[in-house]
Structures are given as structure tokens and as C-alpha cells.
Structure 1
Amino acid sequence: MFKKFIYFISMFTVLIFWSFNSYAQPRSDYKTNQQHSSGIANSKNINKEEQRPVLTVTPREIDLGSIRPGETAFGEFAVKNIAPGVIDWSTSCPEEWEIIAGKTLRGTVSNEPISLRLELKVAESKVNVLWEKSRIPTYRTSMKLEAAGKEFICQKDLKAGQYRKAIRLMSTGGQRTIFVDFRIHALQEIPSISLNPQRLDLGAQLPGKIISKRIELTNKSREMLRWSVFPSQARSTEFMKELQKERYFSFHNEELPEQGKYVIPEHLKDSMELIGKWTEKNGHPLSKGSACAIKFRFNGTGISVFLQSHTEDDKYSIYLNDVMLNLPDVLSREWGKKELLIADGLTDGPHAITIVIREGSLELEGVKVFGKEIMRGPKGWITVFPHSGTTMSETDYINVKVDTSYLAPGHYGDQIVFKSNIGEEIAEVFVDVLSDSGHKVIDVYLYSKDLDSLFTADPQAESIRLIQNGYLKEGIAFRLFVPQTPGTTSFFRWYNPLLKDHFYHYDRTGGGKKLDGYVYEGIIGNIATSRMTNTRELYRWFNPSTGKHYYSTNPKSATGKRRGYRFEGIAGYVR
């Protein structure tokens, strides 16, 4: 009985174990298969997600810092698809910005990043500075985005201040927003000192003469400008080294016969020549039309020219000693005053430059000749008044007085330093002192009307006649000597009211000229009958068809409206 019981228990145990094992095995296989199937599904999902395009842009934000009017700032973003393959993307202007070139910027990108370059420019030109009723200035600000050789430009008028602009990029890999931070500084935030002219050329003077000139000081901002004159004698020798090697020659002429008509200054007539049509601007020569040229002869080791363009595209050539030079284009789309270095390191001696203007309009302020030995005058030879001041939007006039007393013959130069709350500005002064040689001279002025030349040493005494007869002042023509100067004689003047012609000669009887109809008007000074030191020829021409005479120190001046005049010879020698 006991054995049967043991057998029964054993069989029951085996049966239960077999049943459990049979039941458990399919569940295990199911789990394994389920896990395997789930792994395949997850792998497919992961691959599918990895292949989805994703657009990334780095950095997400760029700070361009402070930008002043007239300045340009640059930034760069990197655009990339972090998934395999190529996606399309596009971007456009920030909200409320006006598109002025292109509509949108489009392109493609892979997992190799491309550059998205940004250029932000704040306009300086007054044409682009708009004023609202509130008198708060706004500045024309342009933004250019460029990638893969394509670009678009948009603009907006912005006030001075801090900005954060959003730029959206659209793509099949999602939308991204990048930001550009910048600050616009107003022009009014910075006082600006301007001196006009910045270089004073007093020409050639005799010892003992006092010359007065005026400099205009202007504050171009709306902030208070505080300035004072710093004595040049306190400057170090090192500071004056460059000045001691340079002599500035101004083309400015204060004694123009009429507005718009340029005449070469008296002290430059021997070294300067104009060809073609020239007018004037601010007293400087301004080319008019094509085929204009200016020639300047100098002695030195180099030269630079100060010039300004008044048109967008100028075409000009520069020659040194009749050889054309290949110089950088400093005037292309630049309308400010520029100093153009033409040559340096030349052999010390005579040279000549020629500027030929084929198109455009150039204003020439003057030249600076290198290699000149420039001396400084004694303390007090230059005085300035007023010495200091405060300037808002008005123009202040600074009087500069130069005393050539006790100066030996030679080239002189110095600097007037203006210190202000924004730094320093320098005005330069140049003058040549001639040798007196015991010969005193007097200025002779030219007045003209209908091709008649009236020379006088005392225009104030003849002012009524000059005004009533409509004569135009053309400035100092030359200089004559005072009476009793050795080697000189009286220079006489006659006038024919019928022919409206003046005649001059050092012979009281006219030197063989038939003076019928001419009225004797007196002596205007003394003229040299042979060449003396520092003298030049005074030439005379005669037009037989009109009966009129013409006088000039320029042997080539009897052209143009003076055609038909016949050269008669030298009337004498003048300063």
C-alpha cells in the first residue's frame, strides 16, 4: 500500500512537471520572438528618425557692437543639415524692413556647412539722414545677406539706439530664428571740429610785412565743443620733423574777378598752367567738361595733391615728367577731400606733374612738395585770436596774423594746434620770405571790361571810375617798383575812349606808338627796362582789326577770345 502511494506521488509529480514545462516553453519563445520583433521595429523607427532633415544655424545670435554713421559691420553664420542628404532653405528681411535688391535668399545645404554672411551699414551722408518733426535724426540702415554667391539687400530708417533684429530661416528641416544685435551711435553724440582751410599758404612776402588770414571753425555736431589754441613753440622737435620737409602750395584765389571764374593766383603764375574749361568752387579750380588738364612745376623730391571729386565716376590720368603713372583710385565713389601721393624719393630738382581729367569734375585744393627745407619763425611770429572758445552749431572765425619782420629769406612753416574735448586738430601755415635787395615793390591790380585791361596801383583812388564804367576786378596782375629804384623807370598809362583801349609804355612819347585819340592818365609805378633779380617779362599784344592792346606775364595767354592779337614784344620786367 505504501509502495502504491509512493508510486502515485511520483507519477503525479512527473505529470505536473511535464505540464508546466510544456506550458512554459511557448511563453518563453513568444517573449523571445516578441523582443526580436520589437527590436526590428525600434531599429526601423530609429533609422527613419535619423534620416529626417534637421536644419541648424550657429551661432544663433551675433552682437555687432556699436556702429557709427558711415561705418559698416560684418557677421557670419554657419548653416548645416545634421542629417544625411540635401535640404532646401530660404530667408528674407526682418519684419518691417524694405527689400531693395532681391526678394528672398534661397539655397541648398547638406551636412557640410555653408556660410551665411551679413553686412550692416549705417549711412553717413546728409542725403540719407532724415529728420522727423521731433527733430530726432534717423539713419538709413541697410542689411545685406549673402550665401553661395547669392544675396539680397533690405533697408530701414532707424533712430540711434540699441536693436535686436530677428531673421527667420525656413526649410524642410524646420524653421530657425537667428538674431542680430547692434547699437547705432548718433552723429550728435560726438562733437566734431572742422577747420577751413586747414592749410594756409601765404605765398611769397617781403620782410617786415604783416599778413592776416581767417580760419573757419565749425562744430558739425549738436553737442558743445570746447576748444583752445595750443602754442606751437611748445611742440617737440620730433613733432615738427615732417613739417620741416614739406611745403604746401594752395590753389585758392581770394581775388577772383567774378563768381564761377577761376584765375591762377599771382604767386603761382610761373609754376601753374590750366588747359581746357575750368570754373571755381570755394576759390579752388574746378574742372568743367572733358579734356581738362592742370600742370604744376616744382622743385623737390616728391609731391602729393589735395583734391575732391564732385561726380560719382571720374576718369583722370596723372603724369610725372610726361610719363603716365599707375596710381590707386582713391576717388571712386568717394566725395570727401583726399590727399593723393603722386611721387616721393625723386632726385632733388625740377619736376612737373600733369593731371588730365577726361570725365567727371575734380576740385583741386593744392599740392604739397617734399624735400623743402622749412624753417620756423621766432616766438610770436604767428598770433591767433581768439585763443579759446565754445562752439555749438555756429561757425567761429579765427584770425591768424603772420609777421615776417626779422625773418631771413627762405621757406617758413608752422602749426596751429587746436585742442578740444574730442582731441586735437591742426592747421598748417606756410610762407616764403623773399630777399629785399633794397627794392621796394607795389601791387598792381587788373580790372577788365570788354577786352580792355586797366592796371592800377591805387584802386581805391579810382573806385568811382571803375564802378561807373563796369570794370571787373581780376586781382593782382604783377608788381612794379617804387620811384627811384635803380634800373627802373616810370611806367605810363594812356586811354582811348573811342577804341576803349588802354596803352602802357615806359617812354613818355609812346615809344613810336601813334597816340592820336589817346588821353594820358599818368604813372602807375616803375618798371625795369632789363631783367633784374626775381623779375619776369610783361608781354604786349596788339589786335589790328580792333585797335586794342593786351598785356600779360604769361606768353601763351593770347588765345581763345584773344585770337587775332599779334605779339609786339616785351613791355618791360616786373615782379
Structure 2
Amino acid sequence: MIRKIMFRKKYSILIIIFVVIGCENPFSSDEEAPSVLITFPSDGSTVTGVISVTADASDNESVVKVEFSIDGKLKETDTETPWSYLWDSGDYADGKPHTILAKAHDKEGNFDSLSVSLITVIVGIPQLSISPITLPFEDNLTQLTVSIKDSGQDTLRWEMSTEEDWISLSSSTGSTFKETDLVIVTVDRTNLQPGNYIGIISVTSNGGDQELNATLSKNSNPTLSVFPQTFDFGESSLRDTLFVSNSGTGSLEWSITDDQDWLTISKTSNIIDSGADTVLVNVNRAGLAHGDHMAIISIKSNGGDQEIIAKLNIDSNPSLSVSPQFLDFGETTIQDFLVIRNIGTGSLEWSITDDQDWLTSSLTTNSTTTSSDTVYVTVNRSGLAGGEYTGNIFISSNGGDNDVSVGMKVSNPPVLNLSATSIDFGLTGTISNFSISNNGGETLIWNMNQSENWISILPDSGTTTTETDIINVTANRDSLAPGNHLGIISLSSNGGNQDISVSLNIESEPILNVSPQSLDFGETELQKSLSITNQGAGILSWTVSDDQDWITISPTTGTTTTETDLVNVTVDRTGLTGSGFTGSITVNSNGGVVNISVGMGVSEAPVLDVSPLIIDFDSTLTDSAFTIENSGGGTLTWSIPIDSLPSWITLSPSEGSTTTESDTVNVSISRFGLTSGEYSSKILISSVGDGGETGVIVEMVVP
């Protein structure tokens, strides 16, 4: 008998569960099936990370096990209350619905629709959120803080990098879920020439990518620069180092004061022309009360003032608490847990060891302040002879030690073992087999039945101790409609129960499906992809062609059954002018024909525009400038070959790019060492692509 249980959720997903009603055990009068209900998580909820899936199960006699499946795949068989399964949902983090199924069994193999509980949940995905994305290091500022957090629904893993030598990062990698990660960005002006600088900081993550812009200016006056901007001495540190430097020019005169008696500073004033002064900052914890303490260090100078915050913490004593003091796994329990708490104050540092090979702990070391740590303890009975076993778990910490006793029994009942859990007859097969063996000690008694009348099994019952029973399975394809056919062979025994899935396919016609139905490359994109799938059956043979010279397709032919074929479509704008181009791609196959429309834009080229074209320094001027603009479209990238200029001309910058803004190039001349007379030279400005090339004539007179 087959029952179809249909669930319609807001995601418009149809879930069909085949439940096989087994024959009652001929040796028992118990005919009542168990019932089960998933209690956590709730149906339709969103989950993240590692969660405990729990269920309530009941029976008129006893429930022997509950099976937990994710998306139709068996993940855990729990044989002891409470019925639960630890699921790492991070492996399914795609923002899509996933099904959780719990299936209860009693010792007689009774089963009906109430023996299955099914829910649908969504596993969240991470999303990168950064603030700020612009870092202006104005005046004498040397440090700014960037916050990274996850605005999605799963753990965000990120990496941060930069190619600029004058930028350093306090952290380059991290992960976050609900908390905010802070990265301190520090700039060093020491080796930079006076002028304006822009640096790119790249952030990549499993929740998206982002680029940050860091800008700074270096002037020609003395500028106070200190590092770090904060001191955190924590619970034990007694000394740290402060660096005072001049990121400008000239002489920097500085002095330091603080507002707390527990702070001592090794150097309180000095004068710096270049390099950095090293200042030792010492703390004295003697006599300080428990808790957090803060001080302000003030640095004053003729290049600006700064304040630095210094913090420390006076901690008290942690104390270890462990419960329970004894773990009894009996004959069937595989996993139990310990709870470790800090009932004192401060940070409790603990570690776990044990004295038995059959014991495993999920955590062996950790630290906790006010929260509790759960340690899952697992026993492995494999290879152990029947009998009673004892062991000990030792917990050591800076807040005391504790020993937990462990007890376990090993029985030797029959254990059902199958050589296969699925049979696939494919397109042509009709005969297959599998074997039943006993991995336990006592006699295994088994029987089976099938859900579909096109499946035949022989024999359908038997017993075994050490021998292997061979089961022949036959599929009758007569009168089956085209498509996939599924069935289940249900095997019950006194050594466990098992379902064997049986499938076959009756071939039908292929059907062509292509997506997307149109491709728009805009003005900049060069490549997109088409997906070709077979929504029918059999082998789909396809070819692809286009009607435009600027379209290239690869590959142009292929075959598919159930897999997806990707076709890369590339456009070439070289030599094309105008605002828009259209074309068509045709996919022919033995399963139909699909036409794909293609659109592409061609943007306007950049044009180099320089003003003025002549700079006359006469006999007295030494500094001037000219501007570079883009009078066309797109981005104009320009450069000046400074190696070709005479030594009496210097300029900055020598390269750049612009869209609509103006770039200013500062030009200076030096008459030193030159003989009297008139001098003239040409500064050549060239651009990448079709922007053009021009020159600025520089003239001067040496008296």
C-alpha cells in the first residue's frame, strides 16, 4: 500500500514521501505503529550554523530508534532518548528550502503515516557589510577603524589586502556571524614625498566583495604621527611601546603627559627632524581595584596634538564546575554530554583528557568567562567483546580540576548487514541481486516485501548466523509508461530494519531547454553563457549558430542526457561605431529549436585635451602648471615619459586617468648651472587607446 503525503509551502515546492506499510511481525501481537513529531526547528523557519534537530516519539510499547534525514538522505540513527541529531547547516547555506524528516521505528517493525514527521527550513546565506568604504586620513591622522559585519544569515568569512606599502592592516582575515569585526587601518607617511595619495584596500568574502579607498596628503610642515592610537594592557601585560615620528618636514617639538598614577612614561619630550622616538609606557597594577581602568596620554607638538587611550583590567579568580559527575551509556547510547561552567570570575582555561581508547570528546580545550561550554562525549563499541566497561574523563583548569566516571555495556545481538541499499536497473536491466549477512552474534531472522508490483524478490524471508543469503530481484518492464519509476524493498529483522530503493527508466523523447532567452552585453561586457538542458529523456543532440561577425560561440555542438551544457558567447567591439547592435543565436536539436536575441552597445572613445599648450617661464618664474581633460567618453588614461625631459624640468604627476574631471600637472624649472640664454623643450603627453597624443612647449630665459 502506498500513501502520498503532500506539503504545499510558500516556496511552491511539492514534496512527496513514499511510506511503505509493513506487514506485522508474525511472532508478535503488537500491531500499533509508533508516532513521531519534529519539535525543533519549526516548519518554515530559517536556521544557521550547527543546530540540534529534536523530535518526540512514542509507541504503545517502545520506540527503538528514530532516523533523521536531510533532503531525503539519511544522516543519523538515534537509538536513545532524547531523540536528536546535531546538523551543521553551513554545508547547505544557499538561501533555499531544505527538508528535515524524522522516522520512528518500534521493535516489531510497525509503521504508518504517523511514523514520519516532515518540515521545511531555509538555511541562511552570508552578506558582506562594510563601513566606511572611504578612509580619509586628513591632517595628521594615521589610523581609522573599518567595521565588517554580516547582514545575511550565516557565518561570513572575509579576507582584506592592499598593494600599497604605506598602508598596513591590523587583521587580514576573519569570520563573523552576529558580531562586528573591527580592522584598524594605519598609514605611514615617513617615506612618502609631499603630495596626495590614493590607495585601494580589497575585501573578498563568501558574502560578496568590496573595495575601500584610502586617501592622505603629506605637506611640507612638521606633522605629529604616533603609533599605536590605543593601548590595551588586558589582564596581565605590564609594558608596551609608543612610537612618535615626524611625517612632515622640519623639526617636530613634542611633549607627553598622562592623567593616571599607575602609568609611567620613559620619555616626556624631544625634538625630531626625521625617524621616530621610542617611548616605553609602563603600568603598575599594585593596589588597583578589580575591574576596568582607563587613562589618557596627551601628546602636544608644533605639528599637531593627539590623545591616546590606555586600558587595563584587574581580574579575579575563575572556578571550575562540571556536571554531571557520571555518564552511563548503557548498552545502546552512543553520545552524551558534559556542561563546563565558570562559577567564579575572570577567564576559565580548561582542558580534557581520558584513559580509554573507546572514549572521544568533541572539545579538548577552551576558555569561558560567564557562558557554559557543552562537551559531547562519544563511545565506540566497535571491536569490543561483550561485557561492562568503565573509564574516566579528567578536566584540568586554572580554576580547579574534576574527574568524571564513565560506564558502558557491550552486547552481542544480531546486526543486519546489506551489500546494497539501492538497485538501479537503468534503461534496459531486468535482473539484479543483493546479499544479507549477520554482523552480530545471535541468529538474524529477516523478512521483506516490495512496494511495487513490477518488483519481484526471491526469497522474501530467512535466517542467518554466519552464512550469507543471496536475494534475487527481478523488474518487469511490461506496461510501464515512459519515464522514471521508483520502488522500495522494505526489510525488517531482529537485527535492524532497512529500505532498499529500486529504480528503472523507460526511455522517452528529448526536449530542448535553453536559458536565458536573451543576452544583453551592454557597453562593457565581453562574455556571457547559455545553459542547454534536456527536459525530456534520452540523448539530446544540439548545434549552435549565429548571424553576426562580432559574435563568437564555443562550443557549437554537443550532447546531453541529464547534465547541463554551457555555451560561452563572446562579443568583439573592435572597429564598431554607433550606439547599439543586435543579433540572433539559433540552437537546433533533435528536441526542438530555440532562438536567442543578442544586444550590445559601443561606447564613445576618450579624447585627450591639454591646456595651455605653451608655458613661458621668462627669466624669473620657476613654477607653473597645465591641465589634462577628457573631451570624449569613457576613461582617458594618460602618461608623460619623464626620462625624455631635460634635467632643468621636473613635473608631477607623470601619469593618471580621468573621465569628466580635470587632472593638474605641476611643472617646475631650475636655472641652476645653466649658461645664459633661451631654453625650450616639449613635454609629450600620450594616452592609451584612441585618446590621442599632444605636447606642451616649455620656454625659459637664463639671465
1 or 2, which has the higher strand percentage? 2
- Provide the TM-score with structure 2 as the length reference: 0.23
Higher relative contact order (CA 8 A, sep 6+): 1
Structure of higher CA gyration radius:
1
